[in-house]
């Protein structure tokens, strides 16, 4: 058995070499966020009275409850832990899933693992190396966040617990990905299953905190990372739950990996048709996009149902003076609570839809980088037709996803499908703008397109966070296309044409420029 881990050290060095930029950037940003949010909280709410009233307002806001859960303590530390607990677990979880799959299943799928396995590399070494790096990186950002928190005047013990709680989210999902990486031969499917599991576990936590079924939070890592209660009673033993969860999944992953072949999956690959009926480039694109798109549609449908149900209880459960006040500031004195709720939530979720649109918009580049476009473009399929076959999905997938999200939310709320779906669809031009940025980059800077597009979307999300803490105003805020979308449910419907038309023009211009650049440049496979 000792031989199965041979070569782990070599593989760890390989992973560190391949991710020498990504890992430090992720660790640094994640480690710096807690102290900056803590200092922003101190600055914005200097007195206990101010913090109490902020906490009361937030506790009354179902959107905040759904995203972040309850506030356990209205101290600076308690508010910081509340602001970041869930988001850092979400980010850490997502990055960990992507990294583990990238260094395990994706390596096998491309055949690079085979090359290594023929050397002195034990059967378990690749998984052990990937997990070591990802678990250590998560631990590192958690620990690194502590000194700055302590320097800012927060108690050392609670700060360490908070740091470790932020690490724990990554650990849990690294372990989930370790298992899903054993199931199928496709890295895309393995990634998809892990992210879907993450989404379900997050939804479970949201439901626990908005639906009055608090015990559900004890069933999900997204609940546990908050239930450690840093700065609010410090329940250290909850970390043990996460450790057991992660250890059990990791053990399962190693056990599963001994029961399959290299490059094979536990779910065997079935033979398919011997003859094809794909009618050219568009047929091929439809085949390539539809699986992912169906997955996204189901996910957003489930989210919409959750929101609709949550919004139903608002009038009875959350009709507090604080929330009324919030609603009045946002939408005027007669704004309906549910409208404020939907406006909040759709603003955030539309950026998730933009993520789905990015996947489609970057697909053409992915095909090019993998060398598959080369073969197709040697046939009479022209450059433009090929690009359009993928662009159609970048344009249409947000239409589908926003409609599903809004329609299901409206249906489960009060049956008012058109109104909620209409408000959700108002984000379409903003999402198209994000897809337009990606299309422009695919034409102009193909090798950097994926990295820069995702960073841009990440920055738009950061702008939201900064805006919420009033750290960003004016021009910086204007940079995000989402900021310009009128709140259709809160009086924005009066004159929505100008901003929506403006964004659409921007999106079309970006897209057209991207296509023009693509037609003029050389094809650049990554090899």
Closest contact distance (angstroms) between CB of 263 and other proteins is 8
Window of 202-210, 365-373, 470-478, 490-498 that interacts with other proteins by CB under 8 A: 365-373
Q: Minimum CB separation from other proteins for residue 526, in Å? A: 10
Cβ at position 289, least distance to other proteins in Å: 11
Helix (H) or strand (E) holding 205: helix 187-210
Burial 416-431 (b: 16+ CB within 10 A, else e): ebebbbbbbbbbbbbb
Candidate residues 120, 370, 418, 501; the one interacting with other proteins per rule CB under 8 A = 370
Q: What does the angle CA 191 – CA 268 – CA 119 come to, to the nearest 5 degrees?
A: 75
> Helices (H) and strands (E) in the chain — how many of each?
24, 0
Query: Does residue 118 belong to the site contacting other proteins (CB under 8 A)?
Result: no
Task: Please say whether the dihedral angle defined by the alpha carbons of residues 167, 173, 175 and 177, taken in this order, is positive or negative.
Answer: negative
Minimum CB–partner distance for residue 384 and other proteins (Å)? 9
In the complex, what is the shortest distance from the CB of residue 291 to other proteins, in angstroms, rounded to a whole number?
8
**Does residue 502 touch other proteins according to CB under 8 A?**
no
3-state SS, residue 382 = coil
d(Cα 475, Cα 473) in Å, to the nearest integer? 6
CB nearer other proteins, residue 157 or residue 268: 268
Letters for 127-166 (x = contact with other proteins by CB under 8 A, - = none) are: ----------------------------------------
Confirm if 485 and 504 have CB atoms less than 8 A apart: no
Options 334, 380, 474, 475; binder of other proteins; rule CB under 8 A: 380
- For 392, half-sphere exposure in the C-beta direction (CA atoms, 13 angstrom radius) is 14
Least gap, CB of 375 to other proteins (angstroms): 6
How many residues bind other proteins (CB under 8 A)? The answer is 37
382 lies in the site for other proteins, by CB under 8 A: yes
Count of residues in the chain: 527
Q: Which two tokens stand for residue 299?
A: 């996910």
For the record, the structure tokens of 482 come out as: 């989402």
**What number of other Cβ atoms are within 10 A of residue 520's Cβ?**
9
Residue 161 has, within 13 A of its CA and on its CB side, a CA count of: 26
Binding segment (CB under 8 A) for other proteins, from list 62-70, 159-167, 406-414, 519-527: 519-527
Q: Does 269 bind other proteins (CB under 8 A)?
A: yes
Shortest Cβ 368–other proteins spacing (Å): 10
Q: What's 331's DSSP letter? A: H
276-295: contacts with other proteins (CB under 8 A)? 276-281, 283-284, 287-288, 291
Q: How far is CA 334 from the centre of its chain?
A: 34
Binds other proteins (CB under 8 A): choice among 2, 273, 333, 475: 273
Q: Which is nearer to other proteins, 241 or 284 (CB)?
A: 284
Binding site for other proteins (CB under 8 A): 109, 111, 185-186, 269, 271-281, 283-284, 287-288, 291, 370-372, 374-383, 522-523, 527
């Amino acid at each position: 058995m000792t031989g199965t881990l041979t070569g782990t050290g070599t593989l760890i060095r390989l992973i560190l070499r391949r991710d020498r930029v990504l890992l430090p950037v992720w660790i640094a940003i994640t480690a710096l966020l807690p102290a900056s949010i803590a200092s922003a909280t101190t600055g914005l709410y200097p007195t206990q009275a101010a913090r109490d009233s902020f906490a009361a307002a937030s506790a009354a806001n179902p959107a905040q409850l759904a995203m972040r859960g309850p506030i356990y303590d209205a101290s600076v530390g308690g508010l910081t832990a509340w602001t970041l607990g869930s988001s850092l677990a979400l980010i850490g979880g997502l990055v960990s899933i992507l990294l583990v799959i990238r260094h395990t299943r994706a390596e096998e799928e491309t055949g690079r693992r085979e090359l290594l396995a023929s050397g002195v590399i034990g059967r378990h070494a690749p998984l052990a190396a990937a997990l070591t790096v990802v678990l250590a990186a998560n631990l590192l950002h958690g620990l690194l966040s502590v000194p700055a928190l302590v320097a800012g005047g927060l108690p050392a013990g609670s700060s360490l617990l908070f740091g470790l709680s932020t690490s724990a989210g990554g650990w849990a999902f690294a372990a989930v990905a370790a298992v899903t990486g054993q199931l199928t031969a496709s890295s895309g499917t393995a990634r998809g299953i892990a992210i879907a599991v993450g989404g379900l576990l997050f939804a479970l936590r949201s439901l626990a905190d908005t639906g009055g079924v608090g015990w559900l939070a004890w069933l999900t890592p997204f609940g546990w990372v908050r239930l450690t209660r840093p700065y609010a009673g410090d329940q250290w033993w909850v970390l043990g739950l996460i450790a057991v969860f992660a250890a059990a999944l990791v053990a399962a992953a190693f056990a599963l990996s001994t029961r399959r072949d290299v490059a094979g999956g536990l779910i065997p690959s079935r033979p398919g048709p011997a003859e094809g009926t794909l009618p050219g480039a568009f047929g091929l694109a439809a085949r390539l996009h539809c699986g992912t798109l169906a997955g996204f549609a189901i996910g957003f449908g489930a989210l919409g149902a959750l929101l609709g149900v949550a919004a139903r209880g608002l009038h009875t459960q959350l009709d507090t003076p604080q929330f009324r006040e919030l609603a009045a500031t946002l939408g005027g004195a007669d704004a309906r609570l549910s409208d404020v709720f939907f406006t909040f939530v759709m603003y955030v979720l539309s950026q998730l839809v933009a993520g789905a649109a990015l996947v489609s918009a970057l697909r053409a580049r992915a095909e090019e980088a993998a060398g598959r476009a080369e073969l197709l473009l040697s046939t009479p399929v022209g450059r433009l037709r090929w690009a359009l076959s993928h662009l159609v999905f970048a344009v249409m997938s947000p239409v589908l996803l926003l409609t599903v999200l809004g329609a299901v939310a409206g249906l489960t709320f009060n049956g008012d499908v058109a109104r909620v779906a209409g408000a959700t669809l108002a984000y379409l031009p903003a999402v198209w703008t994000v897809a337009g940025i990606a299309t422009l980059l695919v034409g102009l800077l193909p090798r950097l397109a994926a990295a820069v597009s995702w960073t841009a979307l990440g920055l738009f999300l950061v702008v939201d966070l900064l805006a919420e803490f009033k750290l960003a105003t004016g021009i910086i805020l204007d940079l995000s296309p989402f900021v310009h979308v009128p709140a259709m449910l809160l009086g924005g419907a009066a004159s929505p044409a100008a901003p929506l038309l403006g964004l659409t023009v921007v999106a079309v211009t970006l897209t057209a420029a991207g296509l023009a650049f693509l037609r003029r440049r050389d094809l650049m496979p990554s090899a």
